[in-house]
């Protein structure tokens, strides 16, 4: 049974794990992990961002304003698809379209208006300040993660699984990682190739 609890986190960064909250993109998503705003809260709890107090406030507000929460969820999933279009283009060596780039910049600007840095004994910590409850707040750290990837300069590490379309950062030593997960998509690909070989050999016999 598919649940957020057993959803694999193989993207290598927060942004890609968020983009991968559908089971596949080839040919199109068959299962949506973010069907409700509560699902978004549960995913945010799993990745640990925003903090517990913020998530509690978001959950309470969403319960009081279900229609507003539903609209916010639609906007969040729209942002997810924008991020997929952005990084999917980069993964194949293309430049993202102007509409996608403009939307990303608009959302990034909104998120960065809430960002601040806190200094402590353990070093610096990047936080997001929002005096009022903002139902799109789970997107702020996701957009910051996307910004970090884009400004990191290692575009060759951005890859898309050829079987399911999930995005991931290839941090392997040889830079030749092909699958989001070798034990899932890689094994399925090998199983299909074996099946086709056996079928072809029977037909040729």
3-state secondary structure 177-195: CCCCCHHHHHHHHHHHHHH
Q: Domain with 86 in it: what CATH number?
A: 1.10.3300.10
Q: Please, how many CA atoms are within 13 Å of residue 202, restricted to the half-sphere of its CB?
A: 6
Decide if 2 is inside a domain: no
pTM attached to this predicted model:
0.88
- How much is the pLDDT for 153? 84
Number of domains the chain contains: 1
Q: How far apart are the C-alpha atoms of 50 and 32, rounded to whole Å? A: 22
Decide if 135 is inside a domain: yes
- How much is the pLDDT for 126? 83
Would you say how long the chain is, in residues?
Answer: 205
Decide if 6 is inside a domain: no
- β-bridge pairing 158-160 and 167-169: antiparallel
Decide if 5 is inside a domain: no
Q: How far apart are the C-alpha atoms of 107 and 39, rounded to whole Å? A: 21
- Domain carrying residue 174: 14-204
Decide if 81 is inside a domain: yes
Which stretches in the chain have pLDDT values below 70?
Answer: 130, 186-205
CA 44 to chain centre: 11
- How much is the pLDDT for 95? 96
Decide if 181 is inside a domain: yes
Decide if 8 is inside a domain: no
Q: How far apart are the C-alpha atoms of 14 and 149, rounded to whole Å? A: 10
- How much is the pLDDT for 186? 63
Which residue's entry shows tokens 């969820």?
73
Decide if 106 is inside a domain: yes
Q: How far apart are the C-alpha atoms of 141 and 138, rounded to whole Å? A: 7
- How much is the pLDDT for 122? 83
SS3 call for 102: helix
């Amino acid at each position: 049974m598919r649940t957020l609890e057993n959803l694999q986190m193989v993207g290598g960064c927060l942004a890609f794990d968020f983009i991968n909250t559908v089971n596949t993109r080839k040919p199109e998503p068959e299962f949506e992990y973010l069907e409700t705003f509560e699902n978004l809260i549960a995913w945010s709890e799993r990745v640990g961002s925003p903090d517990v107090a913020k998530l509690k406030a978001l959950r309470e507000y969403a319960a009081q304003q279900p229609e507003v929460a539903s609209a916010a969820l639609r906007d969040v999933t729209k942002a997810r698809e924008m991020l997929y279009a952005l990084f999917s283009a980069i993964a194949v060596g293309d430049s993202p379209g102007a509409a996608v780039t403009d939307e990303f910049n608009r959302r990034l600007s909104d998120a960065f208006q809430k960002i601040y840095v806190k200094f402590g004994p353990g070093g610096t910590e990047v936080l997001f300040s929002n005096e009022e409850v903002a139902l799109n707040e789970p997107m702020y750290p996701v957009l910051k993660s996307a910004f970090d990837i884009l400004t990191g300069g290692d575009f060759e590490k951005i890859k898309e699984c050829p079987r399911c379309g999930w995005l991931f950062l290839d941090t392997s030593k040889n830079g030749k990682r092909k699958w989001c997960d070798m034990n899932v998509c890689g094994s399925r690909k090998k199983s299909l190739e074996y099946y086709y070989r056996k079928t072809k050999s029977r037909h040729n016999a």
